[in-house]
Structures are given as C-alpha cells and as structure tokens.
Structure 1
C-alpha cells in the first residue's frame, strides 16, 4: 500500500489522531489528498477549485503549531472539501455551480467553515454542484458532470455530488453539503457515503443578503463523511446558535457519545416506499436485507404504512410550487446581490435551471398555500408514527441506475424519497445499504424525531458495525 493510499483511506478521526501523535504530519496528509485529486479527478470531476497552495501553506502552519506545543482542535491538519454553494471561504472562488460566476471570489467566510477551520480543518478545495443546487444530479455549464466513484457510468447525485464523489474516491476525508430536497442524501446514496441532514435550525446558516430563504423548503447544511463517527464529530463542531441566523436554535445534543450507544431498546418502523414511491425491485431487495441489521443489533423492527393518505401524483403536485418557488427565490437573491439576471443571460444558464425558473414563475401564493396543506398532512403522519416508534427507515432513492448525463425533468419527484423530510424538518441520514447485483450503490434513510439527531447516529453506527461499508472505497 502506498503512502498516499494509506493516508487517504483513513477516516478524519483516525487521521487527526495520527497527526496529533506525530506519526503523520499535516503536510503529509494534505499532500496525499492533493495527489489523489491529481490522479483521479480527471475522470470523476468532483472539484471545481483546488486550493493547493493555500492548503499546503495551512498545513505547514499546522505542523509548526504542533512543534511549538500549541493546543490544537479535533480536526487539526485534516483536509476538508467545501460544497461550492453556501460554504464560502474568503478569497476562494465561489461559483454557485454557475458559469455566470466562474470568476467570482468570496469576500467572506461562512459560519460553519469558520467553525471547522477553528477546529483545525484545512480547506483543500470546492466541490461541484448543479447550478444553484437546483436538481438531484450534478452537472453544470461550468465543468460538466460528476461521476460516482463506485461506477463512473453513474452520476454522483446532487446537489452535493462533488462532495460525495470526493469522499468516496478518497480525495478528502470530510466535506460539507447542503440539503433543500435531498441534496445531502441523494449523492450519499449514489456514491456510497454517509450524509446527514440535521434538524432544521441546528446548523447555522449566516447567508446574506437574505437570511430568510430557508423556511419554505426547509434547507440546511450538514456533514458528509465515510464514517458515522466522523459525521458525529462534524455535527458537534458545526452546530449551535449564531447571531446572524434567525432560524438557529440553542439545543444541546451529544452527538459523539451517541455513536457508542446500544439500540436494543429502539423501535424502528420500516416503510419500503413511504406509501407512494415506485421502488425498483433491485433497490427494494438491498434495502430489505439492510434493515435486518437493526434487528441483529437488538432493535425491534416493524414494516408499517406511513398513512399520510396521498398518492404520488398528489404529493408531486404539492411539491412543485414549494420547491420551484424556492429556486426562483434563490435566483432573485443572487440577482439582487450581484446584479446577474439568469433569465436575461439564458445562453449561459443550464437548460434544467431555466426550465425550473419558468415553472416557478407560473405559481402564486395561493399555490404555495395549498401545498402547505399537503405538507402538514405528511408532517402529521410522521409525527403520529413517532408516537410509537423511535425511528423511521426507508430507501433513499427509488432507483440506483441514474446515468452520468441523465437529466430528469422538474416533475420527476418519484425517484428521491428525500424531499418529504425537507417539508417536515425532521433529521435524516442516508447510510450505505449495499450494492445491487449490477454493483450500483443503494442508500438507506434513517429519519428521527425533531432534535433527536443523536438517535439517528446511534442507529447508523449500529448499522455500520453490523454491515460495514468501508469496502466500497477499496
């Protein structure tokens, strides 16, 4: 095993421990991951920007700090990839996944990036995302499509596809993502990694110029990792109220201890299709098998209906105004902030984003109001289920064969089982469930009570112990 492969195969927790003991330097760690990017990213296309010089300089400073005996944080010297949407770092290119912003450089650093850097993480680059993060696949007019490292004929999923692909390929041990309809969980499933959408309000978002753009379609940032332990560590560093976020909440959750917690007293509800989604047989087979791991860990598992009472058509009809209006809102905020009109410069904008913006323009307040009624019905159904169960588990995606350049229509709501939980605000993780017979990765969603994010981590860690998934990265 080469030094590069050895270091890039470590979790963030393991790598940080070895750096602190002096077995590995921060420079070793950063150089190994830069080499990995150089050797693999030509095919995978995970990074929009690589911060080679800045990362090496930061690594040298980190090594000097250890030599001087300084107190260091839990991520000291660990490379970190940032989604090129929302996770801004001052002085580094920030494109929103758009060719219109190919030369835009951020003039500030977002709160979560500050927190991770304060813990010692070293930003190694910015990862690819569809334009404004508007869809569940990663492809744009700026650098093109991002492939899943497990099967490069498949798309990495979106919108945090670059982060998920970079993790699965060993180009970074930790990454940030964000989720407005599944953007953490869809690519986690497509790339065989772990993505966590926290309860709305736990992770602060100090985005400007609008601080109120996340409520209509609950949008939150969150961690993407290869291990549950690393996700718990990142959550412990990222969460906590921030004065610039009117939605942030002061809730104290012990994420890290949850990883070792037994689940033999858990009652887990399994919904194979959330009562409405058309699940491919090969996906259903993998998820059915994966769910037995919770029983193996001592939990009680029941297959149950969700009982929300809506058809797929009714759910999709309600999803359209809320989601497309939120995308239109994002474009409007960017226009106000930067003076860039996406519709006026349509020849430089992706067709799928243009189509979604035009759809969003067709809806008015009354359409959004009606969608809120269905949204409330789904929320009530989930809350009723949690009166009897600790967790709800379901597939992340209905299919596992999304091609690298496959572009789904704005109306294609039936393939990700993710967006209902952006309606409800519940915490959800997507964990690797296994591979289909064709070698395609399948994800399993774990949904918890609001502000019971630690219970998801406990169950996820039990799943990882019973069905380890690190072989996906070999």
Structure 2
C-alpha cells in the first residue's frame, strides 16, 4: 500500500490514515523514496527534509496510538515553496545570498498546515526572491515540467507544481504576485488557486505593507480540486500581523460537491486583449463545454479592460520595479550589496531589471494605478452580469528553457510576461484558479477560472464541476 500512496490524493491519504489502513511513517517513506528517485528529472526540490519528516511521522503515529484528536491533514506529506519559512530548515529564497539561512519560525500558513497534521518533506524551487515567470536561479538551476523536463515548469511556484505533477507530494502551496501559482499550474498540469487577496495571511517584514502593489497572495496547489479546497480551509483566515488579512468566508471543502446549475459563465479565451496561440484556444473551446454539461450557461464575451496587453504589462512592471527596488534596499539593510559587490551573486536578469532600470517616478507609479483601476472596472463590469470569467491561463504551452516567446499568434509580445493572462487579478485581488483543460502536443493547457471578490467557493465549485466532467488524473507521468 505504501508504494501506491504517492498516487493518492491528500484527502485519500488522510482518510486512510484515520481509518487505520495506512500509517504516517509508511506514507512519508514512500514519498521520500519517490523524491530521491525522481527529483533529478525536474529539479523540483531545493531541500529534502528527511530527518524532520521522519520525526514528524513518528510523532503522528504516536498521536494515533494515544487516541489524540487528528487534524484534517494528519500524516499527509507536503512541500513548502522556498520563499516561506519552516522552523529549523533553510529558506534560500532561491538566492546565493541566503544559501545557508535557517528559519527560526514557521510562516503563518505553514504553521497552520503543520498544526492540521501535515508533514513537511522538503522545500521547492523558486526563481530568486520569487521574481520570474519561469523557475531558475544560480543556487540550484532550472525546474522543468514533468511532461518534458527540457521545458519550463513556470514560475515562481515552479518547484511546487513540478513536485505535484510528478507525484512527489500531494500538496504544495505556492505564492502569487503576478501569476506565480497559476502559471506553473498551467504548465505542469495541476490545479492552483490564487484566493481572494488576504484570505491566506502573508506576514512580511520589515515592510508589512509590501505585498499590496501588486497584490501578492498565498494559495493552495494540488492535483485535485478537493485537495486544494481541503488545504485552503486550513490556511485561510485573519492573522493579527497581516494588515490585509481577512476572515474565511465559509468552509471551502464543502463547495467541492456544490452543483453549478444556473451559474452564468463568461468565456473569453483572450480576456479581450491578450494573444493566445490557436492550438491553445482550440483546446479551451472544446473544454469550456464541460460547464454547460454540468448545468451552467456559457456566453462568449469580450471584456473591456481599457488597455491592450502591452499597456497592462507596462503598468505591472511600473509597480513591480518599485517593489523590486525596495527588495534591494532591504538586502542592503541586511549587509548585502546587490547593486555592487554582490551583483554577480544575483541572477543577471534580476540585477539588470533592478540596477539598470530607471526607478519610476511617483507620478508614473500613480498613473499605473489608473491603468489598474480601468482593469478593475472592466472586470467588475463583467462580474455584475456573470458569476465567473473563464479565459486561457497562458497564451502558450511550456517552451524550452531559455527560449521565452517573443510572438504569440503573430503578435509581438514582451518575452518575460507578455504570454501570461494572470496579472490583471494581481491588480484587483479577485480569486482566480488554473485548472487543467487538455493538452497540445503532449503539453498541458491551463484554463483560468476567476470569480467575484470573496467568492472563492464559487470558483472552487466550478473547478470541481469541470474536473468531474473532464478528469485529468490519469495523464500524469
């Protein structure tokens, strides 16, 4: 049974452990064996916490033997993105500067997962400081999609998505400031949900307000919608040290079985402005009918975001550049010199973006907020009439490492972010998920499902209904 637990869902593992059919120790050993056997394929893990995982599994076994109350994730292996802290484990942020830094406490959502019984088996790869739509760094190198490791897994939660897609763990939460959950979910064929802003707390210091522009979210990633909802129930809820955190609105796991009869869905593969490759659109055109079979109505629409994709990407870069400059200021306050002597220890593209890019003026920064407002109003106009907006997650499928696209369907794009349709929701804070919708030439295609602010349960219900109509679980490597 331990040999097959790596193919099981988190919900299934937790249930079998509660029933006494599996033990936390055998489940953890099976997952550690698979990680050590297969991690070299994708380079999903930065650190594997063998000793910690075995100690925690043994404690989980004792809790069962002693008849203690068991949490909803008791004995379930999880991986944590290497931007979040696990007490006593190194957190590198994907940077040579922090190659040996060890965390002295859990990040809040990590603490919640561990309190629910989850067992950390390692830390997953990320681009340096989480800045990038692909996952690569000078510390451990690039992460590839399990469907073709020579192609990108996406970023910045690329290690998490690759670990899920290669069945190394059943749960691997990510973070998302411009698509960093949804991009790799799309490229690795897994489910990723960026919740409503603030639903999963993010305690940042020295600047507690750093994650507001653009909006940065923590959220669940899994191979099934049920597993993502189960982990969201654990992670969600207000935190006293996060000024933007909000209470959970309901039990999200209950939404998995909720019917979507009568739900109104707007379908716009290009979101009104982003180029999408014809093969990706064809895949989505075929997949979207699953919502109708589940009882919803689907209308093809053309939302007006007020700007073309180039202007939206430019506004994002204006906001992000200020944030990245602030990051370098924080590094200098810690004694590093990323603009000078330490520049060669920082990934070149990041150093170029920060050091060689002129910092936006305050007026330019505020003008970007006007673009952001137009995008917000365009989405709100859509959500006044429809429950959900369904689009492509990305305009393309996974491409070879180092070969970012410069054109999509004949349209010239900015190569680092012009192929993603995720950034608008980091302007606005709406919940948005990427669900596996099909394949093009053996590579996964993601469908983005977004809903009204605080309507995370609606996004989950629609995602689960889609999953029942078009299951993807037999397509993993």
Query: What is the TM-score with the length of structure 1 in the denominator?
Result: 0.96
Q: 1:433: which partner in 2?
A: 437
Q: 2:344: which partner in 1?
A: 347
Q: CA deviation at 1:411?
A: 6.0
Equivalent residue runs for 1:113-262 within 5 Å: 113-262=110-259
- Secondary structure of 1:174's aligned partner: coil
Q: 2:58: which partner in 1?
A: 60
Q: 1:442: which partner in 2?
A: 445
- Secondary structure of 1:175's aligned partner: coil
| CA distances 1:39-70 after superposition (whole Å, capped 9, x unpaired) | 10112100000000110011011011101111
Q: Is the 8 A contact 2:49 2:122 kept in 1?
A: yes
- Picking from 270, 287, 290, the partner of 1:293 is 290
425-434 or 311-320: bigger deviation: 311-320
- Secondary structure of 1:259's aligned partner: helix
Q: 1:453: which partner in 2?
A: 456
- Secondary structure of 2:123's aligned partner: strand
Q: CA deviation at 1:357?
A: 1.0
- Secondary structure of 1:195's aligned partner: strand
Q: 2:410: which partner in 1?
A: none
Q: CA deviation at 1:303?
A: 0.5
Q: CA deviation at 1:3?
A: 4.0
1:473 matched to 2:467: no
Distance in 2 between the 1:26 and 1:128 partners?
25
Structure 1 alignment gaps of length 5 or more: none
| CA distances 1:425-455 after superposition (whole Å, capped 9, x unpaired) | 100000101101x111110000000000000
Question: Are residues 407 and 143 of structure 1, via their aligned partners in 2, closer, same or farther at CA, if it must alter by over 3 Å?
Answer: farther
Question: Are residues 441 and 10 of structure 1, via their aligned partners in 2, closer, same or farther at CA, if it must alter by over 3 Å?
Answer: same
Q: 1:363: which partner in 2?
A: 360
Distance in 2 between the 1:125 and 1:447 partners?
30
Q: CA deviation at 1:330?
A: 2.7
| CA distances 1:383-427 after superposition (whole Å, capped 9, x unpaired) | 011111000000000010321333579763320000111001100
- Secondary structure of 1:333's aligned partner: helix
Q: 1:98: which partner in 2?
A: 95
Q: Is the 8 A contact 2:90 2:101 kept in 1?
A: yes
Q: CA deviation at 1:363?
A: 1.2
Q: 1:69: which partner in 2?
A: 67
Q: CA deviation at 1:90?
A: 1.4
Question: Are residues 387 and 434 of structure 1, via their aligned partners in 2, closer, same or farther at CA, if it must alter by over 3 Å?
Answer: same
